Structure formats: structure tokens, C-alpha cells
Homo-oligomer: A and B are copies of this chain.
């Protein structure tokens, strides 16, 4: 099992795959992990057949979405620009969580993850790594005495995920703006 032959995708197929993932993320953020496969295909401008050829079932599509999301979060947490105080690093991280591609998607995937995470080793690992990176940042800020100590990383992540959820009755931009504003208030509330 050292190397899968993995025939490279044709150019158009790769393009469609990207479109499917991006479109699915948007759609799922707004409507939950159970949007019809047909809509996901339509939204990406392809037929359902194409969707099913690339992802054999809904599970494998969402799995991919979730994994990407965690990887992005971890990458951001690890890409410390340097010279930041713990508090500033936390602020930076929380603001990134306000981005729809992270926060809104994470919110929408919550129920799905709660149900499927445990059955998938890689996903479990990614979850734990992401949580660890987040907690590390929180602890730094707390150790400095800059952040209130009565809430831990997991709890804060949970909190943020509630606030970051996509509000479908608002436009995409309005929803994103609202989330950003609310997160600033949360940050104010976290300051000692």
C-alpha cells in the first residue's frame, strides 16, 4: 500500500472537481449537510453523474470538505507571523474563524461531524490537531493574563462556531459582516 496508481485526472475533470467542492461548501454552509446531491451538482454547473463519479456518495464528499476545512484551520494556526503576543495571536485566529470558509462551514458540519467523526481515523486526527492548536493559542493568551481564565479552548471553539454560522436570511456579505461584528464583541468579552 505504498503507492496507489492513482491515474491523474483530466484537466476538465479536475476543474469540475474543484467547482463541486467549492459549490458544495457554499451550499452546505447555508443549508446544512443534507442538501440534495442534485443541487450540489447543479450549483457547480455539472450533472449528477459527474458528481457521483468524483465522489461515490455524499459521505465521501463531505468528508473531503471537512478535512480541507481542518487543514486550513491548522495551517492558519501554525502560520504565526511572529512577534505576536498570545492575545494578538488569539485575536488573529478568532478572526480567521469568522471567515465563511472556516466558521460557517464548521457550523454547518457540526451535526454531521458529531455523527461520523469517530468512524474515520484521519478526521479524528485532524479534529484533535486543530483543537490542540487552538487550545495552545488560548492558553498562551491566558498565561499572559490577557484573557479570562474561566473558559477553555474547546468551549471557546464551540462558542465561536455558534456565532459563525451562516445566516441564510441575510446575504452572504451581510452574514459575514454580522459574524465579524459579533466576534469583535466576543473578543471584548474575553479580554480580562
> Does any Cβ of B come within 8 Å of A64's Cβ?
no
How many residues of chain A get a CB closer than 8 Å to chain B's CBs? Answer: 25
* Closest Cβ neighbor of A110 among chain B residues: B169
**A158 and B162 contacting across the interface, CB-CB below 8 Å:** no
> Does any Cβ of B come within 8 Å of A178's Cβ?
yes
**B168 and A185 contacting across the interface, CB-CB below 8 Å:** no
Q: How far is the CA of A184 from the CA of B151 in the complex (A)?
A: 11
> Does any Cβ of B come within 8 Å of A109's Cβ?
no
By secondary structure, the A interface counts as helix
Closest approach, in angstroms, between the C-beta of A124 and any C-beta of chain B?
Answer: 15
Q: How far is the CA of A59 from the CA of B110 in the complex (A)?
A: 28
> Does any Cβ of B come within 8 Å of A55's Cβ?
no
* Closest Cβ neighbor of A32 among chain B residues: B32
> Does any Cβ of B come within 8 Å of A36's Cβ?
no
Query: CB within 8 Å of B: which residues of A?
Result: 110-111, 114, 148, 150-151, 155, 158-159, 162-163, 165, 167-169, 178, 181-182, 184-190
Give me the 9 closest cross-chain CB pairs, A-B, nearest first: A189-B189, A185-B189, A188-B189, A114-B169, A159-B182, A162-B162, A162-B163, A186-B189, A162-B165
